[in-house]
Amino acid sequence: MTAPLSVPVFNCVVNVAPAGPDGTVVATVANLADLSGRGKSEREALAQVVPAFKQAVARYHAAALPITWIEPPTAPASGEVQRLIAVHL
């Protein structure tokens, strides 16, 4: 029997803002620059931002480049909540 493949796992730290006046929820990655998602709910916003995070990290990983993490992650603003999501490549 062969050993299981090693699957890289990365922490996606996301700050989620409450719905704005138009009902849109914005989720912004707090530990990698320039990634965000929008939706009518937190779930929809996260469903946009997590694949974008995975794609960005996969590019770094495939090219064997260091990932440009934001350390420490950006703190949530007043009214925002922070979510920690494990993302497997």
Residue pLDDT, tens place only, 47-67: 999 999 999 999 999 999 999
CB-count exposure of residue 35 (10 Å: 0-12, 13-18, 19+): buried
Check pLDDT > 80 for residue 1.
no
Q: What is the pTM (predicted TM-score) of this model?
A: 0.91
Other beta carbons within 10 Å of 54: 16
User: Mind listing the pLDDT tens digit for each residue in 66-87?
Assistant: 999 999 999 999 999 999 999 9
Residue 3 CA: distances (Å) to CA of 6, 9, 36: 9, 18, 37
**Domains of the chain, each with CATH number or no CATH:** 9-88 (3.30.160.250)
The vertex-49 CA angle with 76 and 22, nearest 5°, equals: 70
Helices (H), ranges, 1-89: 42-62
* Mean pLDDT, the chain, integer: 95
